[in-house]
Amino acid sequence: GDSVTQMEGPVTLSEEAFLTINCTYTATGYPSLFWYVQYPGEGLQLLLKATKADDKGSNKGFEATYRKETTSFHLEKGSVQVSDSAVYFCALIGGSNYKLTFGKGTLLTVNP
Amino acid sequence: NAGVTQTPKFQVLKTGQSMTLQCAQDMNHEYMSWYRQDPGMGLRLIHYSVGAGITDQGEVPNGYNVSRSTTEDFPLRLLSAAPSQTSVYFCASSSKGQMNTGELFFGEGSRLTVL
C-alpha cells in the first residue's frame, strides 16, 4: 500500500536558518504529493502541493519539488521565522481513491 | 465562515462509556472523514464518506461507527470506549474536485481521554 516516510524530529533552528525536512514515498501509479502544516492548537492546513513529476509547489517561502526518480518531496525554506514553528506533515493521494496517506509529522521549533 | 466545526473540544470518558464526536461543515462538501492523531503515528484515517448515505472504512475503523444522513454532518461514535482510543480526533472535509487534488479542510480537533 501507499506509505510516506518523513524525517523524524524534533528539529530546532535559529531564526533565518535554512530548513530541510526530508520526505520519501511509496505508491502505486502517479500520486499527488502534499505538505500540510499544523500550528499549535489548530487543525492541519494545506501548505503546498505538486501533482506530477518535476512540479514545484511553493507557498509562504516554502518549496518542495516532486522527484519521481528518487520518490521524494523534500520541504525547504531559505530563512525560517519564529512563526514557522509547527508540525509539518508530508502526504500523498494515489490513484482515484479518497484516502490521503500522511507521514508521522516533524515538529519544527524556531528560536529567536 | 465557520468551515469545519468539531464538538466537544475536550472529553474525558471512563472505559466502557459511549459518546459521539460531532462534526459539521458549512461548505457543501461531498467528502468528509475522521482521522486520529497519536504521537509518533501521524494521522490515520478512521472512516470516510463521499456523500450522504455513503460511508467506508479507513485504516483504523475498529471500535468506531459513523453515519452520514446529511451532507453537513458526519458524527463519529464510540460505542464502548477503551484506553487505546485516547487520542486527538480530527474531522476533515473536501469537495470532490478538491479531494482529487488532496486539499482537505480540517477542524480544530477533539481531544479524548479514556481512563
* Across B65-73, average pLDDT: 96
Cα-based angle A2, B41, B67 (whole degrees, multiple of 5): 75
Interface test with A, best of B10, B32, B37 (most A CBs within 10 A): B37
Instruction: State mean pLDDT over A15-38.
Output: 94
B106 close to A (CB below 8 A): yes
Chain segment A35-77, per-residue pLDDT in tens: 999 998 888 999 999 999 999 999 999 999 999 999 999 999 9
Nearest to A102 among B40, B43, B109 (CB): B43
**What span, in angstroms and rounded, lies between the C-alpha atoms of B49 and B20?**
17
User: Is residue B18 exposed (0-12), middle (13-18) or buried (19+ Cβ within 10 Å)?
Assistant: exposed
**pLDDT score at A10:** 94
Check whether B111 has a pLDDT greater than 90: yes
Mean local confidence (pLDDT), B77-104 = 90
> What band does B12 get if pLDDT is binned at 50, 70 and 90?
very high
- Dig out the grid coordinates for B43 from the structure: 494521522
- Cβ-proximal residues to B14 (8 Å cutoff; 6+ apart), any chain: B81, B114, B115
When pLDDT is cut at 50, 70 and 90, the band that residue B7 belongs to is very high
Residue B99 pLDDT grade (very low, low, confident, very high; cuts 50, 70, 90): confident
Torsion angle (degrees, nearest 10) of CA A112, A48, B109, A98: -160
Q: DSSP letters of A15-55? A: TT--EEE-EEEE-SS--EEEEEEE-TTS-EEEEEEE-STT-
**Which tens digits make up the pLDDT trace of B16-66?**
999 999 999 999 999 999 999 998 888 999 999 999 999 999 989 999 999
The confidence band for A95, taking pLDDT boundaries of 50, 70 and 90, is: low
Q: Which chain B residue's Cα is nearest to A47?
A: B103
Return d(Cα B62, Cα A46) in angstroms, integer: 28
Cis status of the peptide bond prior to A112, with omega within 30 of 0: no
**The pairing of beta strand A44-50 with beta strand A56-59:** unpaired
Cell digits for B30?
A: 461531498
Task: Band the pLDDT of B102: cuts 50, 70, 90.
Answer: confident
Q: Which amino acid is at A27?
A: A
Residue A27 has pLDDT above 70, yes or no: yes
How many residues belong to chain B? 115
Identity of the amino acid at A79? S
pLDDT per position as a tens digit, A76-88: 999 999 999 999 9
pLDDT recorded at residue A62: 98
A8-19 residue pLDDT tens: 889 999 999 999
The reply to whether residue A98 touches residue B104, judged by beta carbons under 8 angstroms, is no
Proportion of chain A in helix, strand, coil states, percent, rounded to 5: 5, 55, 45
